[in-house]
A and B are shown apart, each in its own frame.
Chain A
């Protein structure tokens, strides 16, 4: 269904998981995804092993409880993006 900002793309307003080609994973509310980058609001970033958790564990916890919006705005360059999926598609851990 999305919101009323049809020019922003299908993921606008949706909380997504952005897995990168590196060690980081981002979770945030997608503003826009362009050929060059994805722009997230109210986001969080987790590095593999941070706080004793794998990225998969971190994402599963977020799927159950939500994520802490520690980063107001962040963009992830397309070249660094491995996968973008909706957080709601992740089975809660």
Chain B
């Protein structure tokens, strides 16, 4: 059962209001990756979890203030954008479903993955540093 949209709207907006493209369907994800197949791209699986609010979303946004970052950033919401999340997860089948999580793509191919446990109990600064270190490798 999906979460009430009015409940998660602020959680979506925290990313969308900062330039992150919302990917609500599998086709949205496919089109996003196709449009950015010659670039570096990131897909964030957003979540209602406390670690998404306290660490993942603020840490991700902080990481995007750096010089080195993905060319395009999109997001889908676990529990609501089910097909979109399932599609992006299908691209990295060795990773169990996890939210929040981050998928990095280099020229359309999966390049790195950050599961939920990296965000748990973390601080935005440490999350940003972790992600920034991955951006450099893209």
Q: Which residues of A are in contact with B by a Cβ distance under 8 Å?
A: 1-4, 13-15, 63-69, 86-88
Contact = CB atoms under 8 A, between A and B. Distances in A.
A65 B96 CA distance: 7
Nearest to A1: B54
Interface stretch (B9-17, B80-88, B115-123): B115-123
Contacts of A69: 96
Interface of B: 49-51, 54-55, 94-96, 98, 101, 113, 115-118, 120-123
Contacts of B113: 64-65
Given A1-B123, A88-B118, A88-B120, A13 B98 contact: no
Contacts, number: 49
Contact of B98 (A2, A4, A63, A66): A66
A15 B50 CA distance: 13
Given A1-B55, A1-B122, A88-B122, A66 B50 contact: no
Contacts of B96: 65-69
A65 B120 CA distance: 15
Given A1-B123, A66-B95, A13 B117 contact: no
A68 B101 CA distance: 15
Contacts of B115: 65-66
**Quick one: which of A1, A4, A14, A67 has the most chain B CB within 10 A?**
A1
Nearest to B95: A65
Contacts of A66: 95-96, 98, 101, 115-117
A86 B122 CA distance: 11
B91 to A, nearest CB: 13
A2 B121 contact: yes
Given A13-B51, A69-B96, A87-B117, 18 more contacts: A1-B51, A1-B121, A1-B123, A3-B51, A4-B50, A13-B121, A14-B117, A14-B120, A15-B116, A64-B113, A65-B96, A65-B113, A66-B98, A66-B116, A68-B96, A86-B117, A86-B121, A88-B117
